[in-house]
Amino acid sequence: MTAPSPWWQRGVIYQIYPRSFLDTDGDGIGDLAGIEARLDHVARLGADAVWLSPFYPSPMADFGYDVADYCGVDPIFGDLAAFDRLLARAHDLGLRVLLDFVPNHSSDRHPWFQESRSSRTNAKRDWYIWRDPGPDGGPPNNWISDFGGPAWTWDEATGQYYLHAFLKEQPDLNWRNPEVVAAMMAAMRFWLDRGVDGFRIDVLWHIVKAEGLPDNPVNPDWREGVRDRDRLIQRHSTDQPEARALAAQFRRMADGYGERVLVGEIFLPNERLARWYGTAEEPGVHLPFNFQLIEQPWDAHRLGDVIAAYDASVPAHGWPNWVMGSHDAPRIAGRIGEAQARVAAMLLLTLRGTPTLYQGDEIGIGRVEIPATRARDPQELRQPGIGIGRDPSRTPMPWDGSPDAAFSTAEPWLPLNPDWRTRNVAAQEHDPGSMLHLYRKLLALRRDRPALALGSWHALEAPSGVIAYERRHGDERLTVLLNLTAGRIAIPWRADPILSTLATDPEPGALRPDEGLILA
Ligand code: TEU
C-alpha cells in the first residue's frame, strides 16, 4: 500500500493579504482579528490552507516585506495573542496556516541592521553586505534594485555601501554568515513551535549572491519603458547553489515538525526552477512557485505548450503547483475579462499540481484604476506610469453592499473595486451563477475526484483556441475542455458533462463561447 499523499499535494492554498481582508479596529487597514472573523469564507470556499502575507512589525516601506522583528506582530495587525486565536480558529475549521517568511532582507529599522550600520567593527557588521566603493568611487558593482535604481546605498557614517535587492529600506542579509543562518532558522522555529503549518518563502532564489559579487551581464533585449531591473541579467545576484543548500536545510528542519510545507517564491525557467526541489535524498522546498499562468499570454496554443513543458519538467520526487494571482500580479479578471476568468478558474483547479488562489479572484475582481494621489506601492511610486504598480491587486475585499463594503468603518487604505456594490461576497452568495459559486463547485469537485487532485495529466488533440487534457487516477478518467476564445468551437465530445463554466446546459458536440467543461 502506498502512503496517502500529504495535504499540500491534494490541497488548495488561498493567499490572504492582511491589509486588505477585513478591518476590525476602524483604521482602514485589515488586521488579524479580521482574518479570524472571516476564515469561514475560506473554509466555505473549500480551500485547505491560507498563506498570510507578512504581518510582522514593519515600517511598511514595502507593506510588510520590510521586517523589523521576525517574531512579532505589527500593532496595526494586532498582537501575538490575536495570532494565536487566528491559528486556533483556522485549525478548528480544518485550515492550515502558512506564514510569509522574508529571508533575503530585513527592514533598515531592524535592530540587527541598526547595529550593523553603527560601526565597521560592530559584531553584526557582517550580518549584512557591506563593501567599499568601486574603483571609480561609485557602487561596488553594477547591480540594479528590483524596484529600480542602484542596488547599493552609500552609508556616510561608516564610509561603505550596503546591498539591497529591493528598497534601500530593505538591506540584504548576509546568508554566508552562519550567525545569520542560525538567527533566521530560530525565527522559523519560533513560528513552527507555535503551530504554523509552513511558510511561503519570499524571493528565495535571491538569498545568496555569487562569491566576489561580480557585475551582472547586460541584457541585450532591454528597451526604454521596461522596468529598470531588466537592464541586467541577474546571473550573479540570484539562483546560487548555496541558496539551494540552505533550502534543503530549511526542509530538514520543517520535516522535523511533521507534515509542514515550504513554498519557495522563485521566478525561473523550468529547468532551473526544478533544481529547487533538490534531490530525492536531499529535497529542497516542497513547492517552488510556478508563475507561468501569470506570465504567459492568454493563448490556447501557447499555454498548452507551457503546461506540457512544465508538467514534464517536475522531477519524480517533486510535485507541481500553479499560481494565477497574487498581491504582486495584475488581477486575472482584469487581464482577460470576467468570462475568460471563469475558464481560467477551471484551468487552475484542474491542472496537476497544488493551486494557489489569491483573495478576491474568487469573486472576479477585475481592473481597478488607482488615482495617482492614492498610489501607495513603492514600485509604482519609483517608476510611475509604466504599468507595474501593484496597488490594483491589493484593494480591500468587498464583503457586502453596506458602506465601504463592510471592509472597514473608516476610509479604506486603498480604494475598493469600482463595482463593489454589486461585486461583493454577499451578492455572489445569493447568485448561483456567480464566480464565487463556480469556485466552490470547482474546489468541491477537486476534493471529490482523486483524478483532479492527484491524477496524471495528458494533453489531448484539440482545435485551435481550445486547451484539452485528461486527468487519470486508477480507473478514473476526467476530460477538461477549455475554450479560450469568444467564439463557438465544434469539438466532438462524448462522455458526461459534470461541470460547465456557463450556467446553462452544455451543447453536445461544441464548446460555447468562453466555455470550460469537465467531462466524466
Ligand atoms: O516579490 C518578489 C518579486 O519578484 C517582485 O519584485 C515581483 O517581481 C514584482 O512584485 C512584480 O510586480 C516579493 C513580494 O511578493 C513582494 O511583494 C515584495 O515587494 C518583494 O518580494 C520584496 O520583498
**What DSSP letter does each residue of 82-113 carry, written as one string?**
HHHHHHHHHHHTT-EEEEEE--SB--TTSHHH
Tell the residue number behind the cell numbers 567599499, with chain if given.
132
From the list 66, 74, 265, 514, the catalytic residue is: 265
C-alpha cell at 10: 491534494
Q: Do residues 446 and 453 touch, judged by C-beta distance below 8 A?
A: yes
Catalytic residue check, 40: no
Is residue 179 part of the annotated active site? The answer reads: no
Residue nearest to atom 1 of ligand 1 (CA): 203
C-alpha of residue 409 to centroid of ligand 1, in Å? 30
* CA dist list (Å): 384 to 62, 408, 413, 501: 16, 28, 19, 37
Q: Which of 31, 146, 169, 202 is catalytic?
A: 202
87, 35 Cβ separation under 8 angstroms = no
Which triple of cell numbers denotes residue 95? 485550515
- For ligand 1, whether the C-beta of 388 sits within 6 Å is yes
C-alpha dihedral, 147 to 152 to 153 to 155, nearest 10°? 160
List the residue whose alpha carbon is closest to atom 22 of ligand 1.
Answer: 65
CB of 267 sitting under 6 A from ligand 1: yes
| 166 C-beta closer than 6 A to ligand 1 | yes
- Write the DSSP symbol of residue 228: G
Q: Concatenate the DSSP letters of all residues of 344-412 into one string.
A: HHHHHHHSSSEEEEETTGGGT-------GGG---HHHHHSTTSS---GGGSPPP--SSSGGGGT-SS--
User: What angle do helix axes 241-255 and 178-194 make, rounded to 10 degrees?
Assistant: 30
Atom of ligand 1 nearest to the CA of 390: 12
Number of the ligand 1 atom closest to the C-alpha atom of 62? 19
Task: Choose one of 19, 65, 164, 168 to mutate for the ligand 1 pocket test, by most ligand atoms within 8 angstroms of C-beta.
Answer: 65
Cα separation, 53 vs 73, in Å, equals 12
Q: Is the C-beta atom of 31 inside 6 A of ligand 1? A: no
pLDDT by residue for the chain (520 residues), tens only, comes to 467 899 999 999 999 999 999 999 999 999 999 999 999 999 999 999 999 999 999 999 999 999 999 999 999 999 999 999 999 999 999 999 999 999 999 999 999 999 999 999 999 999 999 999 999 999 999 999 999 999 999 999 999 999 999 999 999 999 999 999 999 999 999 999 999 999 999 999 999 999 999 999 999 999 988 899 999 999 999 999 999 999 999 999 999 999 999 999 999 999 999 999 999 999 999 999 999 999 999 999 999 999 999 999 999 999 999 999 999 999 999 999 999 999 999 999 999 999 999 999 999 999 999 999 999 999 999 989 889 999 999 999 999 999 999 999 999 999 999 999 999 999 999 999 999 999 999 999 999 999 999 999 999 999 999 999 999 999 999 999 999 999 999 999 888 999 999 999 999 999 999 999 999 9
Coil, helix or strand for 450? helix
CA dist list (Å): 311 to 265, 353, 408, 459: 18, 9, 42, 10
The residue among 204, 188, 197 whose CA lies nearest residue 278 is 204
What pLDDT, on the 0 to 100 scale, is given for residue 2? 62
Burial of 392 by CB count in 10 Å (0-12 exposed, 13-18 middle, 19+ buried)? Answer: buried
Q: Is 48 in the pocket of ligand 1 (CB under 6 A)?
A: no
Nearest-CA residue for atom 5 of ligand 1: 328
Pocket of ligand 1 contains residue 146 by CB under 6 Å: yes
Q: Residue 385's pLDDT is what?
A: 87
| The model's pTM | 0.98
Question: Is residue 172 lining ligand 1, measured as CB closer than 6 Å?
Answer: no
146 CA distance to ligand 1 middle (Å): 8
| Helices and strands (H, E) in the chain, number of each type | 15, 18
Q: What is the distance in A from the centroid of ligand 1 to the CA of 296?
A: 18
Nearest CA to ligand 1 atom 7: 328
